[in-house]
Amino acid sequence: MKKIITYGTYDLLHYGHINLLQRAKALGDYLIVALSTDEFNWNSKQKKCYFTYEQRKRLLEAVRYVDLVIPEENWEQKISDVKEFKVDTFVMGDDWTGKFDFLKDYCEVVYLPRTPEISTTQIKKDLK
């Protein structure tokens, strides 16, 4: 069974996120999403989420491409996650290209093109 992992905040879940999850799952058989906790978002990514971790987790668990949701609590957990879950491929959108190449010692690293025009920031701006 080929296991894929990806990381993110996934707040105000939108079709750009779904496009990423769909393509990530297509690379294997089992997709793990490491979902940024509220504390990690606030302390390390300066992101204030609209939905709480539990709400964002529930939304992701309802997505057909997602098999497991685990918490992302810090920047340092990726290597141990890859080892613990026996991950074959790490996937991120290409806004992160190169940033996680250190994982190539442990698994395949794939950066997928982002979906243009849509972002949580844009949604919040438009709603204003």
State yes or no: residue 9 binds ligand C2G (CB under 6 A).
yes
**Largest Cα–Cα distance of the chain, in whole Å?**
45
Q: Restricting to residues 64-123, name those near ligand C2G by CB under 6 A.
A: 72, 92-93, 95, 114-115, 118-119
Tell me if residue 48 is catalytic.
no
**CB of 13 within 8 A of CB of 49?**
no
Tell me if residue 45 is catalytic.
yes
Shortest spacing between CB 34 and ligand C2G, in angstroms: 7
Give the Cβ contact number of residue 28 at 10 Å. 18
E strand or H helix at 103: none
Which of 2, 25, 47, 124 is the catalytic position? 47
d(CA 39, CA 11): 14
* Interacting residues with ligand C2G (CB under 6 A): 6-10, 16-17, 20, 36, 45, 72, 92-93, 95, 114-115, 118-119
Q: Give the catalytic positions in this structure.
A: 45, 47
